[in-house]
Amino acid sequence: MRVRSILERHGWRATHGPYYTDPIEAKPRELDVSATRSWNTKRGITANLVLLVECKSAAKAAQLFAEQSNRGISDPLYYHWLALDEDRARNAIGKIVGDAKVMSRFHAAAYPRERAIVTPLLANAPKAKHRASASRQPSGNEGGPLWDATQKVFAALYGTIITEFDLALKQIEEDLQVRDSPAFADKVLAQAIQSLILFHPIVSIESPLVLVDESGKTTNVDWCRMERGRVFGVDRQWVDVVNAEHFESFASQLTSWYERVLSSK
C-alpha cells in the first residue's frame, strides 16, 4: 500500500494486487503493485509504461550481491508491440486477415525501410549507479524472498505480454467481422500497431542491500540493478532491487527520467 501511494503521488495510475495469468500454469495470480503512465508521442503512437513491483519484508536478512561494472551498459525496457516481426505474431495475424496483399501493406507500414516504427520509442531504463550480478540468499537455500519476488515479477511481465497479444488478436478479429474489405483491414491493422507497452520490473525489499566487490569490500546501497544471466547463451534479465526505505527517492528519480525521455519522443 505504501508503494502504491508513493507512485500515485508521482503521477502514476497505481493498482494494488493486480492479477496476471501465469505463463506456465495458465492460472490467475497476483502481483503486489502495478503502475502505468502513457505518452502520446509525436509519431502518433501511444507509449504505455508499466512498472511491475513485488514487495518483500525480510527486514533482518541482508541481501549480498556481487558488484559489476557499469561501463558501457544500457538496459532497454522490456516491451510488447503487436507487429513484432516474429513468425508466431505474423502467422496469427495473417490467419485472421486472410489476404496476402493486406499483410504486405501491413508489414510496409510497420517496418518502413525495414525498421520498426516503434524503434525510436524503445527507451532505456535510467542508468543504475550500482549494478549486481545476483543475490546470495540468506537462508542458503535455492529459494528465498528476493528469488521468489523476482520470479513473480517476470511471470507477471511475460504473462501480461501473452495476454495483451491474445486480446489484440481478438480485437482485430472482431473488428474485421464488422466489415470485410481490404481497405478496412488496412485501417484496422494500422490502428492495432499504434500502441506500445513498455515494462520496468522492480522488487522493493526491506532487507539491507550489500554489494561485494572483487577485493571483498562491502558497500550498502539504496538500490541496484540486478542481472540474471543464463548458464549458456548471452540472454540476460535485469530487475531493479530497491531497499523499501528508499523507494520514495527511487520513484522520484524514475519518474523524472521517463517524463524527460518519453515526453521528447
* Residue-wise burial string across 35-73, b where 16 or more C-beta atoms lie within 10 A, e elsewhere: bebebebeeebebbbbbbbbbbebeebbbbbbbbeeeee
Q: Quick one: which H or E segment has residue 89? A: helix 87-97
pLDDT at 234: 65
Cα dihedral 55→152→142→208 (10° resolution): -20
What is the predicted pLDDT for the residue at 184? Answer: 96
pLDDT for 143? 65
Name every residue whose Cβ is closer than 8 Å to that of residue 200 and which is 6 or more positions away in sequence. 49, 50, 51, 52, 77, 78, 125, 240, 254
Q: Which residues pair with 221 in a beta bridge?
A: 209
Distance, in Å, from the CA atom of 83 to the CA atom of 100, rounded to the nearest integer, reads: 15
* Per-residue cell: 212: 561485494
pLDDT of residue 72: 74
Name the nearest CA neighbour of 146 among 265, 251, 228: 228
Give the model's pLDDT for residue 91: 92
What is the structure's pLDDT at 136? Answer: 62
Pick out the chain residues at pLDDT < 50.
Answer: none
Structure confidence at residue 137 (pLDDT): 58
